[in-house]
Amino acid sequence: MLEMLTISIGLVLVIEGIIYFIIADRLNQIISILENFNSKKIKFLSLSMIIIGFCLIYFTFRFYREIY
């Protein structure tokens, strides 16, 4: 279980690093766009992403437990 957690954290860091590497030139523009967003919209989007992430994790574990 600890091995899977370590791999998951590593994958998140790699994916985030790739995203920031790709958008590095436009990061100031993206930050200025985000400043104009309503904070409630950002919170709703973040909460939606958290729920989707938890659902993906839950169903992945549930699916793999049935196989093995």
pLDDT tens digit string along 9-51? 899 999 999 999 999 999 899 889 888 888 899 899 999 999 9
Are 21 and 42 within one domain? Answer: no
Residue 32 lies in a domain: no
Are 44 and 21 within one domain? Answer: no
Are 41 and 63 within one domain? Answer: yes
Written in H, E and C, the secondary structure of the chain is CHHHHHHHHHHHHHHHHHHHHHCHHHHHHHHHHHHCCCHHHHHHHHHHHHHHHHHHHHHHHHHHHHHC
Are 44 and 66 within one domain? Answer: yes
pLDDT at 60: 83
pLDDT at 14: 95
Written in H, E and C, the secondary structure of 21-40 is HHCHHHHHHHHHHHHCCCHH
pLDDT at 68: 56
Q: Which domain holds residue 62?
A: 37-68
Are 22 and 41 within one domain? Answer: no
pLDDT at 17: 94
pLDDT at 66: 66
Task: Tell me if 20 sits within 8 A of 27, measured CB to CB.
Answer: yes
Q: Tally the domains of the chain.
A: 2
